[in-house]
Chains A and B, each alone.
Chain A
Amino acid sequence: MAGRGKNRHPGRIRLIVVASIVFLSWVGVGFRLFQLQIVQAADLKQLGMDQRVRVETLAAERGTIYDRDGRELAITVEGKTIGADTEHVQDPEATAHLLAITLGLDEQQILATLQSGRRWVTIARQLDVDRAALADNLEIPGVYSYPEAMRVYPEGTLAAQVLGFVDPDGNGLEGLEFRYNTQLTGIPGEVRFETDRDGNIIPQGLYELTPATPGSDLVTTIDRDVQYIAEQECLATLQRSEAARCTAVVLDPSTGEILAMASVPGFDPNKRSGSTQDDWTNWAVLGAYEPGSTEKLITVAAALEEKVVAASTAFQVPDIIEVVDGACEGRTNASGVEINGCYHDAESHPTESLTVRDIVTRSSNVGTIKIGELLGIDRLSRYIHAFGLGEKTGADVPGESPGNLNLDPTCPTCLASASIGYAVAVTPLQMVAAYGAVANDGIWVQPHLVNELVDGSGIRRPISPETRQVVSSATAATMRALLRNVIESGEGTGSGAQVNGYTAAGKTGTARKFVPDQGEYSNDYVVSFMGMAPATNPRIVVGIIVDSPKIGESGGRVAAPAFAAIAEDTLHRLGVPPDAP
């Protein structure tokens, strides 16, 4: 028995040991399984997915910018970017030479890129497809192309300062592209898909597509043809007068829609190299200037509205007026600086009786200062603000200048200066909007460049401008009559602004150019014309500002003819029937 028990015992122990090992092994496996499948499951699943799943961002198509009739002013198309894998480029010199000839690029620059030491390099971004195809056809080892969206401005220089431009990554940098960058950009989408270890897509694997939401389209108020008319006339004016710059704005006074906003010289946003910040600047909203006589509109309108004068009120007007004692005698103050406060008309004349109508027609500085003195600085200041000077119009343009008003009641010359358009700096758009209020029966309408935003689903978000009554309808009508006289009387400074077939009303402006750096006036002038047509029922307001003309040097000679040309062509374009015999 003992022998049998002795024999059986070791076997049992072995069995128990083996069974225990197997059991523990299974427990270990089970524990590990629990760890892998339960505890770490989410992390490991994610790790596996990360290794297999690729995520590609789908760029949202940037919205198109249209003119008021749905014609493309800025559009995004597929371009091609040329790159190179420098490890596979066999002969960098020959490659650079071939690409330079084919693409019209700088050979040394390409060579430097290829020899930069980086493996993947970009040679040229966002070329048009046809041009990139030329490089593709060469089949140069190591050189490849891939699609990349690019912004194109099909009209070239047209409305360039209004539209602005984007950087190569599609971020708006200037103009409407910058102002409405968020709305135009849209929301990028993404696609997630599984790939094998070689990077090939697994057809039955994960495929999740989150489509990109395209950016909203922008429908501007710009009329492409009117914009072209304004730019061409500005260019012609620049050439005629040898001026430094010409700015033109065409406004629909009843809606506040800006039909054209031109600054010449300009630039082509498709090819910005060689252009300067000055060329990019939208001077119609960023370039504040002293308006000179065009600002007399506000002085006279305010005086009429306040019933300080009537159109027939007569003044004894000499050709010179002294608002600070001794100023006209060339006296100096204690510091030896000549005293300001002597104002005179553009041409000398004996003291004569002039009505308000005559004062406006002949643009008499002295007569207008007399009207301003009756009005007083407080009331003049109130109307200047009401007409929108000294504050931004809110016209969809980034960095808009509010201008600058110097209307200190204690300043002895401010009233006289402000009455005739000095001591105030305004933007061309502010002045055009002020004339728009007179054209629109005394209602100032906020000028604007964008009519509506249209999102990818076609939902339209119209933009509503602000409006306010500045002067009464009767005052506005009187002002239009006075301004019409400036052009049609034959005695006025604006005779050159007569529009073939249409009645017109407007005012010239000629102001010495103030140089802020030097703190004094230069010998250059800023000449301008602000007007409306047809005078009987104004459909457009046109403002022309010419900076530093060398030939002409007066608003009547330089800017008035440009107004006439733009007004005539624009009225034809808008289909406005002639109202003049």
Chain B
Amino acid sequence: MPESEPSLLVQLANPRNTTAAVAAVFGSVASAELLEQPKTVNRLLGSPGLSDDDLSALALFLIRGERENAARDCLLTHLFGCMARRKIVPTKLVQFGARVLATAPGSLLRTAALEYMRTAGPQNEFYAMWVGREFNEQNYAAFCRQSGEPEAPPPPASWQDWEERGWWRVKEDWPIAGLFFKLETAEEEVNNRLRRLKSPLVPAAQTLQYFLLHRLWRATTTTLERVSAIGQLIEDIQGVEGLEPLYDRALLVFRNHWRLLRMGELAEMAAEVYLDLCDLEREFAPDAEKLPPLLEGLDIDHLEKSWRQGPERWALLALT
């Protein structure tokens, strides 16, 4: 007859798994059911005999196993609270917290992990790295899968309708996202993630890019890098089967951000600068039958309207 696995309490009471202090405290508990009594657990974790190191050792022991275990989750939930209060941030626990927030369904453990990561997490030097790593395509897709297939929007009847109601239902309450967007590097990372579609096989509305576009949809500020990143995404997914909903939303968000850049005026200015450069070219090389390299993207209509070097030299534009 195979031996059954020893209960969590028995394991905790073994000094080989945890520190002697932890073993002593938890060894005194008679039954596993006690762990489900919050007061008892809090009393145990608040024991004056447990140092910061003891709590860290206990946490590391508890997160070692990957399998679900109700008693372990219960104990970890309380442990997160206790360690948040005492600002104990071992790297492994921060990594575990980030993973819980990225993948675990709603639970007391996730709530406790979120609180722990918010209050104590940033004190760990690798906090940003772990949060950044767990904010990834696979985890978002897994998170979305927990709520079933995404729901398609109704067909639009106007451009406004297309903008306002053209979104598939997006899972916005992904807990790791809240932490990710508060990181110092978040802006740059968002651009990087937009530029590269990693999971072409998940439904378009469950891609990380879709999630990010939804967040950026109504932004009030933007940068050229952000606009370029969305443009890059559009180029990458144009015509890719199955990604039409993502393409559709990327067009919308690009359009909105483009308006924020107010590029019309800039393109006109670029045309004016080009006119000055043409004048300089004449100054430096009066006999040269060429024009300076065209400033790509200038407003060609504005350039034509303001052209002051005659039709012969206008014809040279085709050669630049």
Q: Are both chains from one complex?
A: no
Binding site for B on A (CB under 8 A): none
